[in-house]
Amino acid sequence: MKTHHERISILGLGAMGRALAGALLDSGREVTVWNRIAGKADELVARGAREASSVAGAIGAGDLAVVCLLDDASVRETLAPALRELAGGTLVNLTSGSARQARELAGWLGGHGVRFLAGGIMAVPPTVGTDGAFILYSGARDLFDRLAPVLAPIGRSHWVGEDPGFAALYDMAALSGMYGMGAGADHAVALVHAEGGDVETFRREVLQPWMEQMLPITVAGADGRETVPDEFNPAMQATGLENILSASGEAGVPTDLAGHLNASLWRMRRAVAAR
């Protein structure tokens, strides 16, 4: 039995758009899909989706349009010819971008009578619809309250503020943390590999448990300012970072892979100099 009667149109059937549409279909939502290049909707159509042949047609078929395209430029390009159909309607943008782009998009669509919620997907296609997935939303609270149950099948809905830029802001910041973690892991494995260590054993028995142990401390201690609290002992940390960089040099690991270490070392040295 359907508990939410909102008909949802998904614009964009890349890896993420297909995952979003699939999760909504699985939950019994009525879904219409559109993609710029044809041929990406077949599997979704077999699962019950309708395919629209134009953006305007897709928007007309739904009560709610959800956009998940490559970037802000592709969103603008796609929506511009369909502003008449969008007027008076509701749109959620789950395309990644910057806070400024989200604010400008909110202004542009608002000026054309569109109720708009900005989003940031904290999931990858295989985790969409799973317990771990969550989606950041920003914009009018009343709109979020109405749409959160409708979009619940794609992931836990999490509102981060009235400012439409905040979902993108938190999304980009969280991704920066993730890529920093990835850069650290890449560098660690490169070091072990270069010195003839057993990479698989290192990954499983050292890197993973170590990163798991340190993750809460790292996140809690992240400050972002140039100040480093005394308890972090920046002089000791600077020496530790210099050791890792020397070990990298000895192993012949390219310094390009160690940018995160240089950034931390710069911060620790500034903190020591400020004492």
Kindly list the residues in this chain that would bind ligand NAP in the complex (CB under 6 A).
12-17, 35-37, 40, 68-70, 74, 77-78, 95-96, 121, 124-125
Q: State the Cα–Cα distance between residues 34 and 148, nearest whole angstrom.
A: 22
Residue 176, both tokens: 């920066």
Buried b or exposed e, range 69-85, using 16+ CB within 10 angstroms = beebeebeebbeebbeb
Angle between helices 259-273 and 234-251 (to 10 degrees): 150
Residue 31, both tokens: 């879904």
CB of 67 to ligand NAP, least distance (A): 9
3-state secondary structure of 241: helix
CB atoms within 10 A of CB 48: 12
The residue among 60 and 125 lying less far from ligand NAP, judged by its C-beta, is 125
The residue among 26 and 223 lying less far from ligand NAP, judged by its C-beta, is 26
Q: State the Cα–Cα distance between residues 189 and 197, nearest whole angstrom.
A: 9
The residue among 69 and 91 lying less far from ligand NAP, judged by its C-beta, is 69
Angle between helices 166-194 and 99-111 (to 10 degrees): 150
CB of 71 to ligand NAP, least distance (A): 6
- Residue whose beta carbon is closest to ligand NAP: 14
The residue among 40 and 103 lying less far from ligand NAP, judged by its C-beta, is 40
The residue among 175 and 263 lying less far from ligand NAP, judged by its C-beta, is 175
CB of 122 to ligand NAP, least distance (A): 7
CB of 84 to ligand NAP, least distance (A): 18
The residue among 64 and 261 lying less far from ligand NAP, judged by its C-beta, is 64
CB of 229 to ligand NAP, least distance (A): 33
Q: State the Cα–Cα distance between residues 69 and 17, nearest whole angstrom.
A: 8
H or E stretch covering 17: helix 15-26
CB of 38 to ligand NAP, least distance (A): 8
Question: Do 258 and 248 meet the contact criterion of CB atoms below 8 Å apart?
Answer: yes
**Phi-psi domain of 252 (left: phi exceeds 0; alpha: psi -120 through 50; beta: other):** left
The residue among 121 and 253 lying less far from ligand NAP, judged by its C-beta, is 121
CB of 15 to ligand NAP, least distance (A): 4
For residue 13, which amino acid is it? L
CB of 149 to ligand NAP, least distance (A): 22
The residue among 96 and 237 lying less far from ligand NAP, judged by its C-beta, is 96
Question: Do 8 and 66 meet the contact criterion of CB atoms below 8 Å apart?
Answer: yes
